[in-house]
Amino acid sequence: VALPAGFDPRDVIARKRDGQDVPAGDLRAFVLGYAAGDVPDYVAAAFLMAAFVNGLSGAETAELTRAMVDSGETLPLAGIDRPKIDKHSTGGVSDGVTLVFAPLAAELGLAVAKLSGRGLGHTGGTLDKLESIPGLRTDLAPEELERQVELVGCAVAGQSKDLVPADGALYSLRDATATVASVPLIAASVMSKKLAVGSDLILLDVKAGSGAFMKTPEHAAELARSCVELASYWGRRARAAVTDMSQPLGTAIGNALEVAEAVRLLKGEARGRLRELSVAFATEALTEVGGVEREVARSKAERALDSGEAAERFRRMIEAQGGDPRVVDDPDGILPRARVRRDVHGEGPGVLVTVDAEALGRAAASLGAGRARKGDAIDPAVGIEFLPKVGAGGGGDERIAVVHARDDPSAEAAAGQVLAALTMGQDAVQVPPLVFGWYGSEVHEGPGGPDERR
């Protein structure tokens, strides 16, 4: 792709620099030119900073996103008949929703073809978690992915490099130039990957709190609105929830540990916020695209877990991806286990007032569960089970965590990090809600609708 004749990328930068809107065609030429290597990194970096400081309008964000999608191939998933649900989380600690949601939604008659990412920094990644299951592959070719979803109802795979190549390049550039924390740029990054895949409903889990990128529900809501607005603009249906990440969502932080917890939840053997949120997303999906009453949908989801049917669906998914299906029967026996297990006990009476969830995520990453840089190796077995929830327990000398480590010194260090991440108190504590709110896209069908706008 060569730049259009007479097109000067500096005109795009100058407009954004001066707080003006960039015409759609120019913005498109700029982004496609960048993806093709005709607009150099330093030119794109100046644009990103101008956009960071002066903002992007809704129309500009939509055009940026569309151009990012058009920088690569798409995955229409046209051969799948069942309602297709895509789901994305902005990242958190002990955020195993996808592991539970995908087989659960499949069991409810929906199709989930999920392209996932790897963990970075204090947040985990679904691919890393699934790959702790012996034999399991996530490098599915598009045809393979589609065939598996037709047969099993769900599949979780890594994103191909040909899908939205501009996103990877822009993200690396933003990371290097202090331009990550911009709502329109984040929304464009998230939604470009969702718009590139065919789906009937996009569900977004925008995390807010100490373990999330967005530290407050208000800031998360801004991103949620921006994402669903983008979906509307391109005629796609989306629902975004702002959910609590002021503490770990489940009780496991670490790859094999999180798979084991997901198995227990899918078998109906465990309760808690991770189950609640997985059910909430399944309910939302079934209500939105299945035409099912909300309460009926919720009952169906609860039943699929309690009956063990969702776990059987997970077994089929694992088997289809080459993994050892016995992990559903005996997760502790099949999944890799860390050599050292060390209990952590509370240091005094009281209730848990706040947790620094990011610090817990970093503690698990230090054990080897996560990576500081893209491409670092991880250890699937290590991690932290963190048991108390805000407003309840954690006091006295009860066991509050179990550190799974490669050796004693790293276990010792992690135990200290766990204790340092807690704030205890004596007074009653307001328990944060699990879901702060839902935001929906408005989709206008008919002339001027999806096909025309695209």
Known catalytic residues?
88, 167, 174, 189, 193
136 touching its own copies, by CB under 8 A: no
The nearer residue to its own copies, 10 or 399, going by C-beta atoms, is 10
The nearer residue to its own copies, 170 or 231, going by C-beta atoms, is 170
CA 47 to chain centre: 27
Pairing type for strands 252-253 and 340-345 reads unpaired
Q: At residue 111, what are phi and psi to the nearest 5 degrees? A: -115, 130
Q: From 12-20, 294-302, 303-311, 390-398, give the range in contact with its own copies by CB under 8 A.
A: 12-20
68 touching its own copies, by CB under 8 A: no
Q: From 11-19, 109-117, 312-320, 445-453, give the range in contact with its own copies by CB under 8 A.
A: 11-19
Distance CA 53, CA 121 (A): 25
Contact in structure between 404 and 337 (CB atoms under 8 Å): yes
Q: From 78-86, 158-166, 171-179, 399-407, give the range in contact with its own copies by CB under 8 A.
A: 171-179
Least spacing, CB of residue 116 vs its own copies, in Å: 27
**Options 74, 177, 216, 299; binder of its own copies; rule CB under 8 A:** 177
Pairing type for strands 112-116 and 154-158 reads parallel
The nearer residue to its own copies, 1 or 176, going by C-beta atoms, is 176
54 touching its own copies, by CB under 8 A: yes
**Residue type, position 232, single letter:** S
The nearer residue to its own copies, 41 or 324, going by C-beta atoms, is 41
50 touching its own copies, by CB under 8 A: yes
Q: 136 vs 156, 211, 260, 323, CA distance in Å?
A: 11, 28, 15, 4
**Options 1, 4, 10, 433; binder of its own copies; rule CB under 8 A:** 10
The nearer residue to its own copies, 177 or 423, going by C-beta atoms, is 177
Looking from the CA of 321 toward its CB, the CA atoms found within 13 Å total: 29
Distance CA 414, CA 417 (A): 5
373 touching its own copies, by CB under 8 A: no
Looking from the CA of 444 toward its CB, the CA atoms found within 13 Å total: 7
Least spacing, CB of residue 66 vs its own copies, in Å: 24
Least spacing, CB of residue 34 vs its own copies, in Å: 11
The nearer residue to its own copies, 19 or 409, going by C-beta atoms, is 19
**Residue type, position 297, single letter:** A
Binding mask 30-49 for its own copies (x = CB under 8 A): ----------xxxxxxx-xx
14 touching its own copies, by CB under 8 A: yes
Q: What DSSP string describes 122-167?
A: TB--HHHHHTTSTT------HHHHHHHHHHHSEEEEEPPTTBSHHH
Length of the chain: 454
Residues in 70-89 that interact with its own copies by CB under 8 A = none
20 touching its own copies, by CB under 8 A: no
353 touching its own copies, by CB under 8 A: no
**Residue type, position 345, single letter:** H
Q: In the chain, what's the furthest Cα-to-Cα distance? A: 72
Residue with token string 């373990």: 211
Residues in 195-234 that interact with its own copies by CB under 8 A = none
Contact in structure between 48 and 84 (CB atoms under 8 Å): no
The nearer residue to its own copies, 170 or 418, going by C-beta atoms, is 170
Residues 6+ apart with CB under 8 A from 340: 403, 404, 405, 406, 407, 408, 410, 411
**Residue type, position 139, single letter:** D
The nearer residue to its own copies, 16 or 84, going by C-beta atoms, is 16
Least spacing, CB of residue 54 vs its own copies, in Å: 7
CA-nearest of 285, 216, 210, 269 to 245 is 210
Contact in structure between 384 and 367 (CB atoms under 8 Å): yes
Binding mask 428-447 for its own copies (x = CB under 8 A): --------------------
**Options 116, 179, 283, 321; binder of its own copies; rule CB under 8 A:** 179
13 touching its own copies, by CB under 8 A: yes
Distance CA 96, CA 277 (A): 10
Binding site for its own copies (CB under 8 A): 10-11, 13-14, 17, 40-46, 48-50, 52-54, 173, 176-179
